[in-house]
Structure 1
Amino acid sequence: MKYVFAIGLLTVALSASSQDQSTVTRIDSVVTWLHSRQMFNGTVLVANHGKVLYKKAFGMSNPTTKTSLTPASSFNLASVSKQFFAMMVMMLKERGKLEYDDAVQKYLPIFPYPNVTIRHLLNQTSGLPEYFDLAQANMSLLDTLTNTSMLDLLAYKKVPLTFLPGTKWEYCNTNYTTLASVIEKVSGVKCDEFFRKNITMPLKMTNTYIYHLKMKSYPASRVFGFGYDGGKPVLNDLTQFDGIVGDGNVYASAEDLLKWDQALYTEKLVKRETLKEAFTPAKLLNGESTRYGFGWFIDDGGRRISHTGSWVGFNTQIIRKVDTHETLIVLDNGSRVQGRPFIVDVWEGKKATLLETELITNVKLITGVGLPAYSASVRIVGDRIRDIGALAPYENERVTNGNGAVLSPGFIDSHSHHDRGLSDEPTFLAAISQGITTVVVGQDGDSDPIDSLQRSLKRTPISLNLATYTGHATLRQHVMRQRLFRAARQSEVDSMKTLLLREMDKGSLGLATGLEYEAAFFSNREEVIELAKVVASKGGRYISHIRSEDIHIEEAVKEIVDIGRQAKLPVQISHIKIALRSAWGTSPSILNRLQKARMEGINITADVYPYAMWMSTPRVLFPNKDFNNEKSAVFATEELFDPSKSVMLYFSADRSYEGKTVSEIAALHHESPPRALMRLIKEADEKKGSAGIAGYSMSETDIVNFLQWPHANVCSDGAPDGHPRGHGAFTRVLGTYVRDQKIMPLETAIYKMTGLTAEHLGFKNRGIIAPGYFADLVLFDPATVKDNATMKDPMALSTGILKVWVNGRSVYENQKSTGNFPGRFITR
């Protein structure tokens, strides 16, 4: 949706050109709209050659008193303050009180870094550590940080520099708090006094001053920062850090900042030659130029000089186009920075497509953290959740009435194969129709390169988010070619490690293994651990279709625990199950082992899908890989699957087998089910075809136990076709297991589909409903939600899923795709 802005009442200079008038008209329309959406609360000033073209204040200066802002209101400039402290240093330099290349220690003897100069501080090349964490760790709740206490702390702690002075540019507030201490030492007066006598008084800046919490009072023009809680304004102002100055705590009005801007074209403060150096990008020791001078960012060959500031509720910016003498000043005290870039874009003549907003009302909110549902409204702004609470719609805002349904985070499928046919089915209807908004692929050891995935998504956008692991078998096939039926040599492992490292650097979540499958079955534990250590070095994770889900399940569980222990990374069992009839009911024992490992410090988790049938190649029914051994085939039919309930989903060697059970196929050939199983594998091999079976082999009791384990999240292991889990896993949990069987509260189930899954994957800003999180959401009716996919109709859509949003845009509604494709590739 594009917004057309009504022309507002403007303050425009009569001498402004028609082009200027057009610009300020658009600025006023944009700022008015932003303010109406609580995206801007502040003052905007536009000038050309010092003449005001536009000047307007929007909103309140104090959320407690509700006092209105005016263009004379004084905002905390945050980091825009730095340019004033740089000017004070330049003044002292002109008066012969200091030199830029003097060591800071010359003026502050306790400063513990002998090689840091005043110039290094001015142009942000000192290597000093940022002071916030250091100060926080050494302050009590009753302390207020000052320049003196900060300098004492640096002297006492002697924290190492982050780099050799002059070798790198790195923005650091400690540079300017230290400069403030130098100013006071050299001048012999407090910074606020020097500032008043040498800058604000000469320039008649009547609403500009330094204020900090150690001062007893403040002028009436002072603006307070605030934020929003549930759409209502709440104070977000100075903190215990705000007894310090240099990096911030200069207050100024937009009108005064224009006086300051114009003075910089003159010699009212310092000589032109002095000022020229401030607007010259610093050079590093290697000769490389930076984008920073003395308290200013410098772009476009010095024609664009600017700085931004952000602290507590304040977001500020001043931009000076020095060749055309154009000025933009934006001061905001409402904590929301989204509006500022739009104002800048309009001023610079760029296209500004404003963020859409949508209000979802009348819902029972389940936030994805396991807490009880409650009534609330949720506002989406752009791709994020912004407000939660008792919210009223804005004028002309899109509103979705939930009619009492449940709104939860979008479901995250931690083990998915829905990417099959990625470019052919970009709607991902099988997934979004059951409320899934993110799928994690690259499973069971098989993955596509990240570059290939990203090219595909760029070529064909999709409806949901996608992340991937890197497949172990894929690495083996790339390095070992056809020599897969043995353990890898060390040189081959080293080559795999190199490939894996590249994929990790491109955003892979980690390593996925399918150790039960032949491409990886013959790998040894040492090979896997070496690869897992590469992943651990990058902060990644390990997920595994373990080496056995039946006769060797105990050893397979021990193996993944050992991988977690030795590689020191989070490990997850894919679709945990017990596929051995004689072991049914032993899930408590397995879970006890996993819980013991967790108590030993191993971060082991699992995902699980809600079906007693798996889907794979029939070859997995021969754990010893002896496909011609009739005794093994008999064992499979007695212990590993029920041939009368297990269906061949696809069989390229003979399509007539598809949809039939193994027992039915056996009857066609007048043979036993074990012999039919051997026939299927032989025919598929001879014709080099593909074969997939849905094997019935799990106990409902074990499924429930695994679902209930606190560290298990829900997955589908599904694809766009085949097994019904591809269309119904998540809705089956909500309907069959939660509503009908009541194995857990609805809120717990949602947690296992969202917040817990995000935690297991290491996702940031997804998986719960909270301000600032991505707006991946699902609206559903808990009374009617139901999976409808069956073995006979595996692609039947679920019911009860009313609407699905991905990154703030609707992708599913009224039982169909909306045709929107806002999905993104999620990197680690």
Structure 2
Amino acid sequence: MIHRFRYFIVCLLLGQLTVQAQSINKPLPVRLKTLDSALTRLHEQTMFNGVVLVAEKGTTRYKKVFGTANYATNEPLTTNSAFNLASVSKQFIAMMIMQLQEQGKLRYNELVRTYLPGFPYDTITVRHLLTHTSGLPEYFDLAQQYTGPLDTLTNAGVIQLLKEHKPPLDFRPGAGWRYCNTGYVLLGSIISTLSGMPVERFFDQQIVKPLKLKNTYVYYLNSSTTPRNRVYGFKREDGKNWPNDLIRLDGVIGDGNVYSSVEDLLVWEQALSTEKLVKASTFREAITPVKLNDQSSFPYGFGWFIEADGKILAHTGSWVGFLNVLVRYTDKKETLIVLSNGSDGSARRIAREIMEGKSAELLQTKLITNIQLIDGSGIAARKASVRLQNDRVWEIGDLTPFPKEPVTDGRGLVLAPGFIDSHSHHVSGLSEQPDAPAVVNQGITTIVSGQDGGSYSMDTLQAMLKRQPVAINIATYTGQATLRQQAMGANGLYRTSKPAELSRMKALLRAELSKGSLGLSTGLEYEAAFFSSRDEVIQLAQVAADSGGRYMSHIRSEDISLDDAVDEIIQIGRITKMPVQISHLKIALRDKWGQSAHLLAQLEQARMEGINITADCYPYDYWNSTLRVLFPKRDYTNLASAEFATNHLFDPLKSVLVRFAANPVYAGKTVGEVATLRHEKPAQTLMGLVAEAAEFSTKNPDISGVEAIMGKAMDEPDVANFLNWSHTNICSDGANDGHPRGYGAFTRVLGRYVHDQKIMTLETAIQKMTSLTAEHLGLKNRGLIAPGYYADLVLLNPDTVKDNARIGNNKALSTGIEAVWVAGQLVYQGQKSTGVHPGVLIRR
């Protein structure tokens, strides 16, 4: 029926095991030995339940059954078991149309309405239906929209849906090719109309009896045929088998619902080289690529895909639990038949690869047992096992190991999704430290770069990863300050942009978004963007919104102009209607400490208006930035402003200079300590340090990061409130050096705020580190431990997990993070990196 899978089937690998398939020029027995080994392995890992047959010149060379015909009764399969062929059925329907054509009852180029009166399209021919060039929409979409859940769809019902609703065609008949099951259902109706009997009876008379087939028939819901040796479809979910067989759409015949066995299919396939059913000239047209209106061709005939200039004729079938393939290698006179009823298409792919001399990748699995699963959704921990395939999660539940399957004993610890750091500055150090110890030691598996308005381009990041693979995944925003520098020049940033410059920024942003950037980031408190107008930011944000991106901002002020800065980001969300996020939410003005509840109420009010505003937050009451941010008015020589900063914006006695290139002796000392050394008041020292750093930068333009300070500027109860807000996810805002948050933000939340202070549950904290972050960033298939999600995982001990990085020992590794997997590969265990680098660049 549906040539494409309609149900999600996880067919992924863990630590790919490659079977070097022999060249197709090697003797067939050699290839068959490889095939048997592969199929046996797949069956052992529950990835194949079915029957396979290989023939050479019509003689069976390999035939083997694997599994059961009915999982409920455990009835074994045999080579006579009749499978629902799904879309492989189409070649039988096409054959009956060819027979009617030879009988003079129809012509391929005749309009369909000639044979089906009332058919609502006046340019569609029988040939269009046969070759998938009609432009008709899929009938099951119409059925789902216009019929009830208890209605069994029939061929007549499909025609009636087309008559009543006459959905628009996808393209003019003959102008294009698109696989279409509707066409073959209509062909089924034409067969019934012109033969004067049900399709199943005509099929029996014209194909089954002439070929003396023993286990081949048409069977659909409410049909009169009695099924023989019928195989039942099933699917495997979380280690258990469930029914996956005929559904209410299966009252139709034409696009599927022909049943057959491998034995009968071989007889059928061999008959195609004879004239037992139709003349050779008639069948030749069935395996000729269809000509489109523009005289180009597409490699599909009547129920056959045509490959390698006709040397390979094939068709797959995918419906409910049935995944099949029939391949004719016409030059080698070889036949491959794979019939499966277990909802996993691995065998049919691998069998073809082996038969065709390609390297076949067998699907290996890995099992993690004896764990308390916290899956990232926020629900309570539960005991479970998790099975991986390649880079994804496959199964969750009470699972037992497969033969020879690698097993990791979780020792009763917590298995959670790998943490996602929504605001990271670690990327710049990955070239020197591809193991990413700062990140993985705290359970982070994905970092998001491009923050505070500064970013690398997508191409640069991709080149970096190609040159030096790393242990973790990377995603990025595109920074406004970077765009400004590209459009305005490094010396032209201290003003508003001109229209031409803004247009240039927009073009640059569109290009980055098209390559997968998550959206636009701004660092409006920093000088490179501080002088930009609201209008500039809004126009750039609208570009991101129009491309489906998002907006993240280190807002224009976190202290004296906090209210106005929050109003700005709310306005951006209101105008662009895209998600907006406040970076590292904080109140950095001592006068406003204790007002976190008021600020959160303001954000909640915006959300009630329909503005999707969120935040991230790190678990410290001191920040890391430049000395210059302590002058909100950018008046660095104003003593009054310096005194305001020391009295209201930070505590000089607890704020440490991380680095100071102009006088390295100051690094590691508080501003108060430096003031004592200089025999000055802290305000005078602050101005002096800013001036000395500026002079050093002028004389040494190639040196970046001249100065940085960890400023004690927040109240911990406010930090706790921000962390607890239901729309806050956890971030680090960390780097590979400097602030201890670079090595310990996530484990600090788990140790200090979950284990010690109990301000939130472990499940809530992990949700804020995983699925909530993925939601805020728009990341797909990450942030949960669920089937089909990437196998980025962390095993942690909730009783011992804590951060150890401190000022003065900022690279101390966390404890309690026992193991970390990225894409199913172990990258960190026992406080040591494994040297494996499976990280990828994540694109929007």
Q: What is the match of residue 531 of structure 1?
A: 540
Q: What is the match of residue 747 of structure 1?
A: 763
Answering whether residue 463 of structure 2 is matched by residue 455 of structure 1, we say yes
Q: What is the match of residue 609 of structure 2?
A: 600
SS of 2:452 mapped into structure 1: coil
Give the whole-Å Cα distance in 1 for the aligned partners of 2:352 and 2:429: 42
- 8 Å CA contact retained: 1:110, 1:152: no
1:153 corresponds to which of 153, 161, 167: 161
Q: CA deviation at 1:668?
A: 2.1
2:578 partner amino acid: L
- 8 Å CA contact retained: 1:597, 1:604: yes
Answering whether residue 369 of structure 2 is matched by residue 361 of structure 1, we say yes
Q: What is the match of residue 448 of structure 2?
A: 440
- 8 Å CA contact retained: 1:71, 1:255: yes
Matches within 5 A, 1:12-27: 19-27=27-35
Q: CA deviation at 1:216?
A: 5.9
- Structure 1 residues 119 and 491: CA distance shift in structure 2, 3 A: farther
Q: What is the match of residue 293 of structure 1?
A: 301
Give the whole-Å Cα distance in 1 for the aligned partners of 2:503 and 2:111: 49
Q: CA deviation at 1:73?
A: 1.0
Answering whether residue 807 of structure 2 is matched by residue 791 of structure 1, we say yes
Question: For each residue in 1:589-620, what CA deviation from the matched residue of structure 2 results, as whole angstroms up to 9, or x when unmatched?
Answer: 11111111111111111111111111112211
Q: What is the match of residue 263 of structure 2?
A: 255
1:587 corresponds to which of 593, 596, 599: 596
- Structure 1 residues 616 and 111: CA distance shift in structure 2, 3 A: farther
Q: What is the match of residue 631 of structure 1?
A: 640
2:721 corresponds to which of 684, 705, 718: 705
1:658 partner amino acid: A
Give the whole-Å Cα distance in 2 for the aligned partners of 1:255 and 1:180: 25
Q: What is the match of residue 763 of structure 1?
A: 779
Answering whether residue 96 of structure 2 is matched by residue 80 of structure 1, we say no
Matches within 5 A, 1:110-189: 110-189=118-197
Give the whole-Å Cα distance in 2 for the aligned partners of 1:339 and 1:469: 40
- 8 Å CA contact retained: 1:6, 1:29: no
- Structure 1 residues 741 and 106: CA distance shift in structure 2, 3 A: same
SS of 2:282 mapped into structure 1: helix
Question: For each residue in 1:629-684, what CA deviation from the matched residue of structure 2 results, as whole angstroms up to 9, or x when unmatched?
Answer: 22111111111111111112122322222211111222222212122222222222
Question: For each residue in 1:758-794, what CA deviation from the matched residue of structure 2 results, as whole angstroms up to 9, or x when unmatched?
Answer: 1112222211111121111111100000100111111
Answering whether residue 388 of structure 2 is matched by residue 372 of structure 1, we say no
Q: What is the match of residue 803 of structure 1?
A: 819
- 8 Å CA contact retained: 2:443, 2:817: yes
Q: What is the match of residue 484 of structure 1?
A: 493
Which has the higher mean CA deviation after the structures are superposed, 557-566 or 683-692? 683-692
Q: What is the match of residue 330 of structure 2?
A: 322
Question: For each residue in 1:181-219, what CA deviation from the matched residue of structure 2 results, as whole angstroms up to 9, or x when unmatched?
Answer: 233233332222222222222222221222111226642
1:233 corresponds to which of 224, 238, 241: 241
Give the whole-Å Cα distance in 1 for the aligned partners of 2:731 and 2:472: 16
Give the whole-Å Cα distance in 2 for the aligned partners of 1:328 and 1:599: 60
Answering whether residue 677 of structure 2 is matched by residue 661 of structure 1, we say no
2:637 partner amino acid: N
2:468 partner amino acid: T
- 8 Å CA contact retained: 1:725, 1:789: yes
Q: CA deviation at 1:17?
A: 11
Question: For each residue in 1:357-416, what CA deviation from the matched residue of structure 2 results, as whole angstroms up to 9, or x when unmatched?
Answer: 111111111111111111111111221111111111122111111111001111111111
- 8 Å CA contact retained: 2:18, 2:362: no
- Structure 1 residues 172 and 488: CA distance shift in structure 2, 3 A: farther
Q: CA deviation at 1:40?
A: 0.7
Which runs of no fewer than 5 residues in structure 1 stay unpaired?
8-15
- Structure 1 residues 704 and 4: CA distance shift in structure 2, 3 A: closer
Q: CA deviation at 1:327?
A: 1.4
Q: What is the match of residue 3 of structure 2?
A: none
Give the whole-Å Cα distance in 1 for the aligned partners of 2:403 and 2:543: 53
Which has the higher mean CA deviation after the structures are superposed, 478-487 or 429-438? 478-487
1:803 partner amino acid: A
1:101 partner amino acid: N
Give the whole-Å Cα distance in 2 for the aligned partners of 1:483 and 1:90: 74
Q: What is the match of residue 530 of structure 2?
A: 521
Give the whole-Å Cα distance in 2 for the aligned partners of 1:439 and 1:652: 28
Give the whole-Å Cα distance in 2 for the aligned partners of 1:265 and 1:617: 79
- Structure 1 residues 656 and 67: CA distance shift in structure 2, 3 A: same
SS of 1:736 mapped into structure 2: helix
Which has the higher mean CA deviation after the structures are superposed, 340-349 or 511-520? 340-349
Give the whole-Å Cα distance in 2 for the aligned partners of 1:426 and 1:517: 29
- 8 Å CA contact retained: 1:112, 1:155: yes
1:197 partner amino acid: Q
- 8 Å CA contact retained: 2:365, 2:389: yes
- Structure 1 residues 629 and 295: CA distance shift in structure 2, 3 A: farther
Give the whole-Å Cα distance in 1 for the aligned partners of 2:315 and 2:322: 14
- 8 Å CA contact retained: 2:18, 2:361: no
Length, aligned pairs only = 820
Give the whole-Å Cα distance in 2 for the aligned partners of 1:639 and 1:288: 74
Q: What is the match of residue 723 of structure 1?
A: 739
2:657 corresponds to which of 648, 659, 676: 648
2:113 corresponds to which of 105, 109, 114: 105
Give the whole-Å Cα distance in 1 for the aligned partners of 2:496 and 2:134: 52
Question: For each residue in 1:263-293, what CA deviation from the matched residue of structure 2 results, as whole angstroms up to 9, or x when unmatched?
Answer: 2222222222222222222233333332322
Answering whether residue 425 of structure 2 is matched by residue 417 of structure 1, we say yes
1:780 corresponds to which of 796, 808, 820: 796
2:789 partner amino acid: Y
Which has the higher mean CA deviation after the structures are superposed, 67-76 or 104-113? 104-113
Per the normalisation by structure 1, the TM-score is 0.96
Give the whole-Å Cα distance in 2 for the aligned partners of 1:4 and 1:117: 46
SS of 1:227 mapped into structure 2: strand
SS of 2:210 mapped into structure 1: coil
Q: What is the match of residue 682 of structure 1?
A: 691
Q: CA deviation at 1:585?
A: 1.3
Matches within 5 A, 1:5-84: 19-84=27-92
Q: What is the match of residue 480 of structure 2?
A: 472
- 8 Å CA contact retained: 1:5, 1:29: no
Give the whole-Å Cα distance in 2 for the aligned partners of 1:41 and 1:423: 46
SS of 1:687 mapped into structure 2: helix
- 8 Å CA contact retained: 1:145, 1:244: yes
- 8 Å CA contact retained: 1:646, 1:695: yes
1:201 corresponds to which of 176, 185, 209: 209
Please tell me the root mean square deviation across aligned C-alpha atoms, in Å: 2.0
- 8 Å CA contact retained: 1:71, 1:254: yes
Q: CA deviation at 1:126?
A: 2.3
Share of identical aligned residues, percent? 57
Give the whole-Å Cα distance in 1 for the aligned partners of 2:514 and 2:529: 23
- 8 Å CA contact retained: 2:581, 2:616: yes
Give the whole-Å Cα distance in 2 for the aligned partners of 1:198 and 1:660: 93
- 8 Å CA contact retained: 2:622, 2:714: yes
Give the whole-Å Cα distance in 1 for the aligned partners of 2:396 and 2:53: 32
- 8 Å CA contact retained: 2:19, 2:360: no
- Structure 1 residues 5 and 551: CA distance shift in structure 2, 3 A: closer
2:571 partner amino acid: D
- 8 Å CA contact retained: 2:215, 2:228: no
Which has the higher mean CA deviation after the structures are superposed, 638-647 or 366-375? 638-647
Structure possessing the higher relative contact order (Cα contacts under 8 Å, 6 or more residues apart): 2
Per the normalisation by structure 2, the TM-score is 0.94
Q: What is the match of residue 12 of structure 1?
A: none
Which has the higher mean CA deviation after the structures are superposed, 53-62 or 551-560? 551-560
- 8 Å CA contact retained: 2:544, 2:550: yes
1:222 partner amino acid: R
2:834 partner amino acid: T
